[in-house]
Amino acid sequence: MINQYGAFAPVYDRMMHDVDRNAWTAYLDGFLKEHGAHTVLDCACGTGAMAIALYKLGYHVTGNDVSADMLMEARNNAFKAGAKGVIFICEDMRKLKLHKPVDALIAVCDGVNYLTGAKDAESFFRHAADCLKPGGLLLFDVSSPYKFRHVLGTNTFTEETEEYAYIWKNNYDPKTRLCEMDLTGFIKNGAQYDRFHETHLQRAHTETELKRALIYAGFGTVAVYEAFTRKPPKQNSERFQFVAIKENNHA
């Protein structure tokens, strides 16, 4: 069984230090405001950074994730940030259920890339549609096939700080479009470092197959941008932003 986001959870936020989360929040906030959204479900919310940021902007936010360890960090982060109104639930994004539909659903930072099975993305989109009000908004991003081929590939990335260190080895198979990411890390614990190991698996979904699955799931309008812009993706775009609207007549 693939081991993902267990021991890694406590250092995830520190390892994401190079991500401009304020800019990412502002980018999604623009789409949400244009759509008039008030209630938001943050899928694969991880440590809750986006859910907390949107809550502080006035949205009613629920976050879910399949990793109990990441949700523990999310709840702690929300408490420290004074965002006690954010609700976090442990749930597989392929089997989403809500008591009440929401205005918008988001999945940030590769959540959909972790859906590696042949029908996994389709299942997520169908359940996402069920959780949205008619005309509801789905926002998600994916790392592009270009990024998997030319940036991740079979490359190895490392980082060393006083608090942690890691070695991240990638093995991308262009035939299956699956990338196995082997992560070995060391977290400071007093005078010593605790070692952990995780294996992550992601899929390089194409723009065409995701559009087809969204339309099949009941999303009538699907736009795709180069992430953090309102421009069409380029051949070397590393991240795609999808903006899909549920059909009004889709139950």
Q: 199 vs 70, 114, 169, 180, 196, CA distance in Å?
A: 16, 12, 10, 7, 11
| pLDDT exceeds cutoff 90 at 4 | no
Phi, psi of 198 (to 5 degrees): -140, 150
Per-residue pLDDT band for 251 (boundaries 50, 70, 90) equals low
Q: How far is it, in rounded angstroms, from Cα 92 to Cα 2?
A: 15
A 10 A CB-CB count for 142 gives 29
Overall average pLDDT of the 122-131 stretch: 97
pLDDT at 33: 98
Per-residue pLDDT band for 5 (boundaries 50, 70, 90) equals low
Pairing of strands 178-189, 156-160: unpaired
Q: Between vectors from CA 83 to CA 161 and to CA 92, what angle results, nearest 5°?
A: 75
Name the pTM for this structure. 0.94
Model confidence pLDDT, tens digit, residues 205-222 = 999 999 999 999 999 999
Model confidence pLDDT, tens digit, residues 171-180 = 999 999 999 9
Overall average pLDDT of the 38-67 stretch: 97
Q: Which of 245, 167, 233, 246 is nearest to 206 (CA)?
A: 233
pLDDT at 1: 39
Q: How far is it, in rounded angstroms, from Cα 85 to Cα 48?
A: 12
| pLDDT exceeds cutoff 70 at 6 | no
Which H or E run contains 55?
helix 49-56
